[in-house]
């Protein structure tokens, strides 16, 4: 059974989350983890664990994390990763279901790197698998493409389309009190 807990500066699982964050996202796609933990922006930062049914003695197994921001009718999953050796076992889908359950009346968006910008066949395959995963989980392409920190992204959404104006307004509102913050 999948369980999730908030990630804070004092969480005992913070080292696991940080290690996965740094291994799952290239440097140009990350912000310092301290910004994910501060309260300047209200985020949902969750660590996910699998508690085996009937395994009373066993400690729950760390499976992954999500970091999302909600405002109005939009929830943006900013960072989301599953432990590499646990991928393709349904944990990613379960994590998305948990996020949807917490936000049943919002449109959920996630961005992926644009496939046609991939540098080699291996990277193209990774990007295609990522897109297929989100498609299997109910996400559709949206009309929004943008560049952030040198990477070209395409927005996918579930629960309804998000326009480019809505997406930019979302980020303007989220970052309005943070001097110098760049939004997509």
* Model pLDDT, residue 127: 87
Q: 55 pLDDT band (50/70/90 cuts)?
A: low
* Model pLDDT, residue 122: 86
What is the average per-residue pLDDT within 80-99?
Answer: 95
Distance CA(44)–CA(42), nearest Å, equals 7
CATH level 3 topology of 2-175: Aminopeptidase (3.40.630)
Q: What is the DSSP string of 71-82?
A: ETTEEEEEEEEE
Residue 53: CA count within 13 A, CB half-sphere? 1
For residue 61, list its beta bridge partners.
Answer: 50
pLDDT at 125 over 80: yes
Per-residue buried b or exposed e for 65-92, using 16+ beta carbons within 10 Å of the residue's own CB:
bbbbbbeeebbbbbbbbbbeebeeeebb
Supply the pTM of this predicted model: 0.90
User: Across all residues in the chain, what is the average pLDDT?
Assistant: 91
What are the residue ranges spanned by the domains of the chain? 2-175
Instruction: Write the pLDDT tens digit of every residue in 153-184.
Output: 999 999 999 999 999 999 999 998 888 777 66
Q: Where are the beta strands (DSSP E) in the chain?
A: 2-6, 44-50, 61-71, 74-82, 107-113, 140-148, 151-158
Q: 54 pLDDT band (50/70/90 cuts)?
A: low
Distance CA(9)–CA(42), nearest Å, equals 15
Other CB atoms within 10 A of residue 28 CB: 9
């Amino acid at each position: 059974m999948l369980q999730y807990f908030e990630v804070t500066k004092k969480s005992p699982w913070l080292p696991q989350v940080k290690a996965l964050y740094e291994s799952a996202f290239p440097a140009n796609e990350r912000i310092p983890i301290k910004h994910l933990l501060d309260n300047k922006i209200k985020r949902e930062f969750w660590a996910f664990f699998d508690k085996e049914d009937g395994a009373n003695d066993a400690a729950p197994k760390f499976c992954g994390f999500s970091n999302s921001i909600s405002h109005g009718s939009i929830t943006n999953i900013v960072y989301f990763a599953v432990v590499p050796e646990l991928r393709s076992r349904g944990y990613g889908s379960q994590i998305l279901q948990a996020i949807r359950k917490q936000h049943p009346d919002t449109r959920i968006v996630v961005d992926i790197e644009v496939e046609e910008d991939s540098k080699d066949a291996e990277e193209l395959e990774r990007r295609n698998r990522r897109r297929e995963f989100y498609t299997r989980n109910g996400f559709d392409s949206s009309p929004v493409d943008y560049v952030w920190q040198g990477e070209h992204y395409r927005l996918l959404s579930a629960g309804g389309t998000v326009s480019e104006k809505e997406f930019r307004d979302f980020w303007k509102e989220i970052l309005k009190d943070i001097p110098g913050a760049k939004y997509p």
